[in-house]
Amino acid sequence: MAIVLTVVAYLIGSISFAVVVSRAMGLPDPRTFGSKNPGATNVLRTGKKAAAALTLLGDSAKGWLAVFLTDTLFATAVPPIYKMSLVAVAVVAGHMYPVFHRFQGGKGVSTALGVLLALNGWLAAGAAATWIIIACFFRISSLAALIAAVSAPFFCFLLYGVHPYTAAVGVIALLLIWRHKTNIRNLLAGTEGRIKEQGRAEQQNSDW
């Protein structure tokens, strides 16, 4: 059953709300313009704030839902902390590499936030606060996402110590860092766009 839940979580994660919302609202496929990343930031480049908000909400909600349902509705021989950890990683991986959308997924930040919220509200609050603080000081979305990703396993360790949740959040952080590899190169080169420039800088690629 734990394997089935992991596969189901991956399939839930594979629903790209950037693509679904764009199609429903008659907008261009987000994989064909801007950063070509199917995330809320790229959807926002169409000028449709409602579409971007729905994308952000949907991608976050699916991360939360997969873990929440696993915790509350499905009893298995595998202890809850282990099956929830597997599902947490699977739903984020599904968002990044969605089988329904030719494996062209987003960066995973919003889905990861939903996962953290389902695991522990304080964990999600710590990661979100880190993102906000870094974004406000440096005005670089990708830098804020990377530092928040790195901080999340640390916060999880403070809450749980050596624990399956800490391992799962660590894996998710590594996935997020990998998906931001282009942003890391841009940061090192000093060419990464700032938040105030995102509306007009086509090279910015820090979408959620």
Nearest CA to 102 out of 36, 182, 201, 185 is that of 36
159's tokens: 């809450």
Residue 101 pLDDT level (bands cut at 50, 70, 90)? confident
188's tokens: 């090192």
The residue extents of the domains of the chain are 2-197
pLDDT for the residue 75: 59
Residue 80 pLDDT level (bands cut at 50, 70, 90)? confident
Q: What is the mean pLDDT of residues 64-82?
A: 80
Torsion angle in degrees (nearest 10) through CA of 34, 171, 186, 127: 80
Q: Which residue has the higher pLDDT, 74 or 182?
A: 182
Angle between helices 49-73 and 17-24 (to 10 degrees): 130
CA distance 61 to 8: 15
pLDDT for the residue 200: 45
CA distance 205 to 196: 14
With tokens 């997020």, the residue in question is 176
pLDDT for the residue 195: 75
Q: Is the pLDDT of residue 124 over 70?
A: yes
pLDDT for the residue 87: 96
CA distance 165 to 81: 7
Q: Is the pLDDT of residue 8 over 70?
A: yes
Residues whose CB falls within 8 Å of the CB of residue 32, separated by 6 or more in sequence, listed in order? none
CA distance 186 to 132: 21
pLDDT for the residue 73: 74
Q: Is the pLDDT of residue 104 over 80?
A: yes
Q: Is the pLDDT of residue 145 over 60?
A: yes
Residues whose CB falls within 8 Å of the CB of residue 180, separated by 6 or more in sequence, listed in order? 107, 142, 145, 146, 149, 206
Full 3-state SS string of 130-194: HHHHHHHHHCCHHHHHHHHHHHHHHHHHHHHCCCHHHHHHHHHHHHHHHHCHHHHHHHHHCCCCC
Q: Is the pLDDT of residue 78 over 80?
A: no
Which pLDDT tens digit goes with each residue over 17-67?
999 999 999 999 998 888 888 989 889 888 899 999 999 999 999 999 999
8 Å CB contact between 96 and 179: yes
Reduced DSSP (H G I as helix, E B as strand, rest coil) percent helix, strand, coil of the chain, to 5 = 70, 0, 30
pLDDT for the residue 207: 58
Neighbours of 28 (CB within 10 A): 14
Which pLDDT tens digit goes with each residue over 147-203?
999 999 999 999 999 999 999 999 999 999 999 999 999 999 999 888 765 444 444
pLDDT for the residue 193: 83
